[in-house]
Amino acid sequence: MNKFLTALGILALAGLPAAGGAAPTPAQQKWLAKAHRHDKAGWIYLHVEGAPRERGFQHGYLLAREIAETIRVTAAQWEHDSSFDWAWLVANTKGFINPAVDAEDRAEMQGIVEGMAAAGVATTLDDIIAYNASIETTGYWWPEVARKFDGSATIVTTPRESCSSFIATGRMTADGGVVLAHNTMGDFTLATANVILDLVPAHGHRILMQTQAGWIHSGTDFFITDAGLVGSETTIGNFKGFSEKGIPEFIRMRRATQDAASLDEWCAIMKKGNNGGYANAWLLGDVNTREIARLELGLKYTGFERTQDGFYLGSNIAENLKILRLETETHDTDIRLSPVARRVRWKQLMKEYAGRIDAGLAQTLEADCYDACTGIDGQPNGRALNAHGEADASLTNPARIPFNPGGTFDAKVVDTAMARRMSFSARWGSADGTAFDAARFLAAHPQFDWMEGVLKSRPAEPWALFTAGEKN
């Protein structure tokens, strides 16, 4: 059996029954009657509702196998990058992560554990919390800790240059309303965020967001709420800093998205207790006021801008100079770097299409393959808005591993009209529709043989519209 299966204490990844698994109780069956899932264009659509433990149970029961598999993959990536197993990560982070989890989110995650158990898949609350915190612990806490083992050691982490996004309003858009577009970029081993979650909490705002099985936050991030708020993030690349005394980012993101009724409230929740984990530039919009904002959260410094007439970009480079100069190591004029090349390209496109941006055009822009460094268009590369690291020899990019299997693995778009209907459009897989064949890739690039059994294929999928409350 794969060593990562036993490391998690998860007993049913291959469909084996978990010890002590029990069928849902009558009360739990009533909870499940209010939830549903269906598959659509490569995505899993999941509807959950009710009190925290109730909706967590629905989530855990309906996505049990997917949650277990995604934790297995996350653990495999972590062990490859760090040399430590999943149990070590859980044991060494729960002391500062778990106490910072609020009661509602803890109850929802406990419900996930109980739902998985009822579906015959055993795990623990510690595992689910660690899994939800994995972006910030593996990518932000771990580099700080690793230096204590050997200050000269090479620290391997999953790439922090991930995601391209823009938000526009006023004179920039065809109807003067808000348009938001985002695609997620990262290692293809971790390309598992193919869940559209329709969450109706007993208290707070309804959320429709992209996430992955078992997460109570988005992670990618792309969301809309019934308060009229829309949002995405792009990671601030080459960021340094983390505080164990703060509130985990995944908790702040979930609380802001569920609880906030305005941009000001959303930003206030995100800033309170900021731990520096998963440092992002957040692109936000209020479709009721047609106002947009960009919130950049470092650890020590914060940037904030807002307008009702213009645009904001995200390409993994900080726009706030304090964050850029004092909390990152990015050279903002080195166009060989993906964040710099993508920022240049976004500015070109915003200038070219000013006044014409709508949801359809946003889909096209998300699939753009122009390399702003070389000037080559239409050839798969790792610097484009729609990145294809797996096809890029990276001979001119000092920050990239040649043929690294990573890049864009989704695209999402929402405009004012969609947001008011609680809808958005999404495409699973490359934004340009290119399929990825894992077996063929590994045969051609044997240096990545550790990914056998972890790297997954993705067929070409069409754009699809998702709406809160939809049925199969």
pLDDT in tens, 52-91: 999 999 999 999 999 999 999 999 999 999 999 999 999 9
With a cut of 50, say whether residue 225 has pLDDT above it: yes
More confident residue, 18 or 270: 270
Chain mean pLDDT for the chain: 93
With a cut of 80, say whether residue 285 has pLDDT above it: yes
Indicate the pLDDT class of residue 400, thresholds 50, 70 and 90. confident
Q: What's the pTM value of the predicted model, to 2 decimals?
A: 0.94
- Domains parsed from the chain with CATH numbers: 3-13+24-147 (1.10.439), 164-198+214-447 (3.60.60.20)
Torsion angle of the four alpha carbons 285, 257, 136, 134, in this order, in degrees rounded to the nearest 10: -130
Indicate the pLDDT class of residue 21, thresholds 50, 70 and 90. low
Average pLDDT over residues 329-339: 92
With a cut of 60, say whether residue 1 has pLDDT above it: no
With a cut of 60, say whether residue 40 has pLDDT above it: yes
Q: 242-270 pLDDT, tens per residue?
A: 999 999 999 999 999 999 999 999 999 99
More confident residue, 306 or 3: 306
Indicate the pLDDT class of residue 6, thresholds 50, 70 and 90. very low
Q: What pLDDT is attached to residue 397? A: 63
Residues contacting 231, CB < 8 A, separation 6+: 180, 221, 222, 223, 224, 257, 266, 282, 283, 284, 285
Q: What pLDDT is attached to residue 271? A: 98
With a cut of 70, say whether residue 156 has pLDDT above it: no
Average pLDDT over residues 100-104: 98
Percent of the chain topping pLDDT 90: 88
With a cut of 90, say whether residue 435 has pLDDT above it: yes
Rounded alpha-carbon distances, angstroms, from residue 24 to 107, 115, 282: 18, 8, 39
User: Going edge to edge, which strands form the sheet with 207-211?
Assistant: 36-40, 43-50, 195-201, 207-211, 222-225, 229-235, 280-286, 291-297, 302-307
With a cut of 60, say whether residue 430 has pLDDT above it: yes
Instruction: Give the DSSP H/E element, type plus range, for residue 328.
Output: none
With a cut of 90, say whether residue 192 has pLDDT above it: yes
CA-wise closest residue to 165 among 466, 433, 412: 412
Q: What pLDDT is attached to residue 22? A: 80
Q: State how far the Cα of 4 lies from the Cα of 1, in Å rounded to an integer.
A: 8
With a cut of 70, say whether residue 413 has pLDDT above it: yes
